[in-house]
Amino acid sequence: MAARGESPESRVRRRRLDGRRQPETESSDSGGEHGADTAGGASDTQAGLESLQTGTYWLSRVVLLRSVAFIYLVAFSVAHNQNKQLIGEHGLMPCKGYLNSVKRYVGGKIGMAALAYTPSILWFFDWGDMDANLDGIALVPRHCPPSLICIWTFRWLIVRIMLGAGLIKIRGDKCWGDLTCMDYHYETQPVPNPMSYYMHHSPWWVHRFETLSNHFIELVVPLFAFLGRRMCMVNGAIQILFQVVLIVSGNLSFLNWLTIVPSLACFDDASLGFLFRSGGGAKKAVLEIQNEEAAGRTSNPTKGMLIRRVVNICLGILIGCLSVPVVMNLLSSRQVMNTSFDPLRIVNTYGAFGSITKERTEVIFQGTLSPDPKDPDAVWEEYQFLCKPGDVYRRPCLLSPYHYRLDWLMWFAAFQARTP
């Protein structure tokens, strides 16, 4: 009723006002949509800037080198705490006698001949670690882009380790074929830990599953490294998980920890980014490098970078040539394990537990306080090692990745012929 009473002028004036407001509304709506699009584009760009791309290995190098450094820390801690008692002047096997024999061999002269015969910069370190040492050296310095060749040398190392361990088993003890080896392994391994007892008493079907899983992980999974990025990452994840299980099941020195190191090379920056904080540091630097490469703003390689590329190619060719006898050994029915076919010992063949002992034999050391050891009434007491199994009422030690070398060697000594 009120609308009928309005004059024509007022209706026209109102229609004009409505017409003026409508464009403002449309402009506001379109501006909102444009703002949303702009915000969405900015967020997409920001997301792209904050997400690491695949195919680069800057962070992988950081993880690999820090892992190698951790192994060095443990290894040199073992040497620092035990070498004096083992190879010191008054140790069990003084190295002075060995060095004197070297001196006699080279005629008392220290020169290139002596260094070639007994290189002592890295080669006094356990030869089984030489592969990882060389590959780690090839990854530095940090300002040089990580070489894909160096990454593949690590991957080739984990392939050799696992295939060597798997092939020596199926060619070795029959228990690996009838799936019964794990019935004995936890009890007869070099230095058991507290979990070894419980794993030894697992049901029979658990041991069968463990043996089958071992064959699959060591013989099939390593080949995943050659099947593209995702399968290579699956290989790395399975190998790391497998080594963690072995670490939990026994004191095997830092060998399993060292095996984890080349497995890390199966992952690129995109898969390892979660290990680094997002606010800055290495992850931010890698994001900037990737964004510059995506925008085509990469700088020309320097002379040093070109030289480094040539060195990396030479390294790849060297490892390829030295791998030929290793591959031939893996394919041979007379495969040998844990040996090297070159004097530098930088490309080796590996293996573990090709045969499993079915019962445990211990070397027992005894001493007496009696002034006459030949006295029939002399009381002899057993020397207890720090970690070697002895007293059956003593809980096994938990030691890994640390390592008591003498306790470890006593396991091998028990295999030798017993003398009265």
DSSP 307-364: HHHHHHHHHHHHHHHHHHHHHHHHHSTT---SEESSTT--SEE----SS--SS-----
> Counting beta carbons within 10 angstroms of the beta carbon of residue 9, is it exposed (0 to 12), middle (13 to 18) or buried (19 or more)?
exposed
Q: Is 360 among the domain residues?
A: no
Would you tell me how many other CB atoms lie within 10 Å of the CB of residue 206?
Answer: 12
> Counting beta carbons within 10 angstroms of the beta carbon of residue 187, is it exposed (0 to 12), middle (13 to 18) or buried (19 or more)?
middle
Q: Is 150 among the domain residues?
A: yes
d(CA 171, CA 192): 25
Tally of domains within the chain: 1
CB 173 within 8 A of CB 338: no
What does the pLDDT read at residue 16? 43
Of 323, 350, 328, the closest CA to residue 339 belongs to 350
Q: Side chain identity at 398, as an amino acid letter?
A: L
Q: Domain range spanning residue 306?
A: 58-93+126-349
pLDDT per residue, tens digit, the chain (420 aa), is 444 444 444 444 444 444 444 444 444 444 444 444 544 444 444 444 468 888 899 999 999 999 999 998 998 999 899 988 888 888 888 888 877 887 777 776 666 666 666 656 555 555 556 677 777 878 887 778 888 999 999 999 999 999 999 999 999 889 999 999 999 999 999 999 999 999 999 999 999 999 999 999 999 999 999 999 999 999 999 999 999 999 999 999 889 999 999 999 999 999 999 988 877 788 888 888 888 878 877 777 788 888 888 988 999 999 999 999 999 999 998 888 888 887 777 888 888 888 898 988 888 899 999 888 888 888 999 998 989 998 888 899 998 899 899 999 999 888 875 554
d(CA 383, CA 373): 16
Q: Is 81 among the domain residues?
A: yes
Half-sphere exposure in the Cβ direction for 153 (13 Å, CA): 31
Residues 6+ apart with CB under 8 A from 406: 82, 86, 92, 385, 388
> Counting beta carbons within 10 angstroms of the beta carbon of residue 254, is it exposed (0 to 12), middle (13 to 18) or buried (19 or more)?
buried
CB 275 within 8 A of CB 219: no
Which two three-digit tokens encode residue 151? 């990454």
Q: Is 156 among the domain residues?
A: yes
Which two three-digit tokens encode residue 333? 């029915």
Q: Is 2 among the domain residues?
A: no
Q: Which helix (H) or strand (E) holds 368?
A: strand 366-368
> Counting beta carbons within 10 angstroms of the beta carbon of residue 302, is it exposed (0 to 12), middle (13 to 18) or buried (19 or more)?
exposed
Phi, psi of 125 (to 5 degrees): -70, 160
Q: Side chain identity at 5, as an amino acid letter?
A: G
Q: Is 389 among the domain residues?
A: no
Q: Is 345 among the domain residues?
A: yes
Q: Is 264 among the domain residues?
A: yes
End-to-end Cα separation, the chain, in angstroms: 126
Of 74, 75, 96, the closest CA to residue 87 belongs to 96
The whole-model pTM stands at 0.81
- CA distances (Å), 259 to each of 39, 52, 156, 266, in order? 47, 27, 12, 13
The b/e string for 390-415 (b: 16+ C-beta within 10 A; e otherwise) is beeeeebbebbbbbbeebbebbeebe
What does the pLDDT read at residue 42? 45
d(CA 337, CA 334): 10
